[in-house]
Amino acid sequence: MATRIRLQRHGKKNQPFYHIVIADGRAPRNGRFIEKIGTYNPLTHPATINLDFERALYWVEVGASPSDTTRSILKREGVMLMKHLKGGIAKGAISEADANRKFEAWKQERESKVNNMKRELADKGRTESKKRLEAESKLREVIAQKVAAKYQAEVQAEAAAAEEVTEEVAPEATETPEVEAAE
């Protein structure tokens, strides 16, 4: 039986979530499987992968062929590297201690890369939010200035109208006493 390590799609429309399964090569994508060895969520950044490392390594060593996407997942998690190192141990090219040391060094390097990427994404998000906040505050200031100018223009127009009304009323008041004084 040709076994495959592949993804089994779950999740809603436009929100995929995958199970990493061992299945017969002839079984349909979401059909029967032999064993579930992990999950893969591509929507998070970086993608979230939960994998049973020992079972994945076992199935790769037994001869299960991974699909393209699953192969990249296994490489990312170090399963393929460990298989390579175990092959070197079997041939006598390296010792088991050297293989473990190389694998641990690779694992530390990978974790530091992932942490740096997460930190950079968080920093980038913070700087973008600061830029958006600054742009929004500048826009608010411009709008406030326009509103203040419009309000000031309205106040000046009302004051000018009030002066005209008082000027029209004031000459009549001055004329009446003069007329009375003349009589």
The answer to whether 78 and 107 have CB atoms below 8 angstroms apart is: yes
Is the per-residue pLDDT at 169 higher than 80? no
Q: With left for phi above 0 and alpha for psi between -120 and 50, is residue 119 left, alpha or beta? A: alpha
Domain range for 71 is 3-93
Per-residue pLDDT band for 103 (boundaries 50, 70, 90) equals very high
Distance CA 22, CA 60 (A): 10
Give the CATH number of the domain where residue 50 resides: 3.30.1320.10
Work out how many domains the chain is built from and give that number: 1
Distance CA 71, CA 53 (A): 13
Instruction: Read off the pLDDT of residues 12-58 as tens digits, 9 standing for 90 and up.
Output: 999 999 999 999 988 888 888 999 999 999 998 888 999 999 999 99
For residue 64, the 8-state DSSP code is P
Residue 36 falls inside a structural domain: yes
Helices (H) and strands (E) in the chain, counts: 4, 5
Per-residue pLDDT band for 153 (boundaries 50, 70, 90) equals confident
Phi/psi at 30 (5° precision): -100, 20
Greater pLDDT, 166 or 138: 138
Residue 105 falls inside a structural domain: no
Is the per-residue pLDDT at 179 higher than 70? no
Is the per-residue pLDDT at 151 higher than 70? yes
Q: How far, in whole angstroms, is CA 163 from its chain's centroid? A: 61
Is the per-residue pLDDT at 178 higher than 70? no
Per-residue pLDDT band for 164 (boundaries 50, 70, 90) equals confident
Distance CA 75, CA 136 (A): 44
Is the per-residue pLDDT at 166 higher than 80? no
Is the per-residue pLDDT at 137 higher than 70? yes
Q: Reduced to 3 states, what is the DSSP secondary structure of residue 49?
A: strand
Greater pLDDT, 177 or 149: 149
Residue 103 falls inside a structural domain: no
Is the per-residue pLDDT at 67 higher than 70? yes
Residue 46 falls inside a structural domain: yes
Per-residue pLDDT band for 112 (boundaries 50, 70, 90) equals very high
Residue 74 falls inside a structural domain: yes
The answer to whether 5 and 67 have CB atoms below 8 angstroms apart is: yes
Residue 132 falls inside a structural domain: no
Greater pLDDT, 70 or 182: 70
Residue 169 falls inside a structural domain: no
Reported as type and span, the H/E element at residue 5 is: strand 3-12
Per-residue pLDDT band for 5 (boundaries 50, 70, 90) equals very high
Is the per-residue pLDDT at 172 higher than 90? no
Distance CA 20, CA 14 (A): 19
Residue 182 falls inside a structural domain: no
Going from the C-alpha of 88 to that of each of 30, 63, 101, the distances in angstroms are 36, 17, 14
* Structure token digits, residue 11: 């999740």
